[in-house]
Amino acid sequence: MAENNTRKSHGQNGAQDAQVAVVMVPLSAQGHLNQLLHLSRIITSYNIPVHYVGATTHIRQAKSRVHGFDPLTAKNLHFHEFSTPPFENPLPNPNASNKFPNQLIPSWYAAVHLREPVCSLVRQLLGTNHRRVVVIYDSMMTWVVEDVPSIPNAECYRFNSISAFHTFSLIWETKGKPFQAGTEIFEDIPSVENVAPPELWELWSKQVSLEGKISSGELYNSSRVIEGLYLDLVAKEINGLNLWAIGPFNPLSLTKQNKYSNKRHQTLDWLDKQEPDSVIYVSFGSSTSLSNEEIEQLAIGLEKSLQKFIWVIRDADKGDVFAGEERKAQLLEGYEERLKGRGIIVRDWAPQLEILAHTSTGGFMSHCGWNSCIESISMGVPIAAWPMHSDQPRNSRLVTKFLKIGLNVRHWTRRDELVTSEIVEKAVRTLMASPDGDEMRKRASELSVSVKQSVMDGGGNGAEMDSFIAHITR
């Protein structure tokens, strides 16, 4: 899918004959891979070469799932596939009491073996015609880049794959919840102890202990139009480091036809035939598996709502998405035939960005991962929030209470209760067929326009992207 270029192309005004190179180090989880691949596309538009690194299977995953541009035809974007030792690749457990994707943790630990190859790549690039190499690393990949600052003419910048709202809420909670301007909105968000298992915090602690020695600045896939207050609050807490809100990373405007593919996804052809804002898109991302009981209640609720829908029903990713079989969830007998014409079931990877950008899409039932939130905000689509783990409960709070562009399907405090078909039906009807839903859609559309305008005018995140590029090419 081609981008209608809302960001200006800087050509030769960027890195002065590519004297600076960027190395991108993403975490091997889909939302993280995707965000940094889109950031790579933007940086290359400044005539700066970008080297995107990872394990072979995760590079393949990132390239095969990207939407909005073709990474294989992007000038100055280079992929480096490194081998890592074999890791456990367990199946996700749809019946687990906690929805966190524990099955991905072995692949995250295996990533520590990228440490030496990344350092070698940095030295290699410095040995050519580059006077500086800039490493942008995911906050969960700190241990991979810990040696880079010791290399002359190399520097690191930490990418936060989460919202500034979530980041500051963690700081606020750690400091004992002090009251100050802008913090009252955090009062009824969940404690950090409830959103992820101990295994994640153990992994996170290994990264945090290194952080003070490595980062030269902080990057967010966000915009001051969206999170100005919380970006300012975070900036006060990071000991004088520069902070840039340089998102949204995803393309902000898409053409109707995908010129890079001979086969357009079936969902887009179906959406072409629907009325504007008449379809709700239902997807819980790449890290959530619903139980059979949850799937049944969701199916019944969507049917009872009488609204049109596209539902992506697939299990969460494994550490290696190409290895082994996936569980195929079963729907009620005759369900798909009964709803033919009103609903589409997708059992493989769906082009989420294109679906959200389509004029017929009027709502998004989402887990509220930040990647999904920022894509939905970019395209002006309101959210029915059903958070599952990690930063998602707090992102849902931002969407529903602060930005007021969505509603809760189920409040996080009731996460141990089954979401019944009646709850689903009510949420879908409210979002898609009520005055309240129309107001959310209006606010979402207005926010989308403001975000796009900030880029086109060179204000907001457009100016911050220029500022970051100016800083690294100084």
Q: Report helix, strand or coil for 291.
A: coil
Strand stretches in 161-295, DSSP E: 215-220, 242-245, 279-283
- Which phi and psi angles does 432 have, rounded to 5°? -100, -20
Angstrom distance (rounded) from CA 135 to CA 141: 11
Distances (CA, A) of 428 to 320, 342, 465: 34, 14, 37
Active site residues: 32, 138
The Cα 6–Cα 452 span in angstroms is 7
Q: What's the rounded Cα separation, in Å, for the pair 354 and 269?
A: 11
From CA 133, how far away is CA 25, in angstroms rounded? 13
Asked whether the CA dihedral 288, 290, 295, 301 is positive or negative, the reply is negative
Residue type, 247: G
One DSSP character per residue, 55-83 reads EHHHHHHHHHH--SS-GGG-TTEEEEEE-
What are the b/e assignments for 352-379, b being 16+ CB within 10 Å?
bbbbbbbebbbbbbbbbbbbbbbbbbbb
Rounded-to-integer distance, Cα 137 and Cα 293, Å: 39
Looking at the chain, how many residues does it have? 474
| Non-local CB neighbours of 441 within 8 Å, separated by 6+ positions | 277, 362, 363, 380, 381, 382
Q: Which residue has the tokens 């996936």?
A: 326
CB 179, CB 79: distance < 8 Å: no
Q: Which residues pair with 282 in a beta bridge?
A: 311, 365
CB 282 within 8 A of CB 309: yes
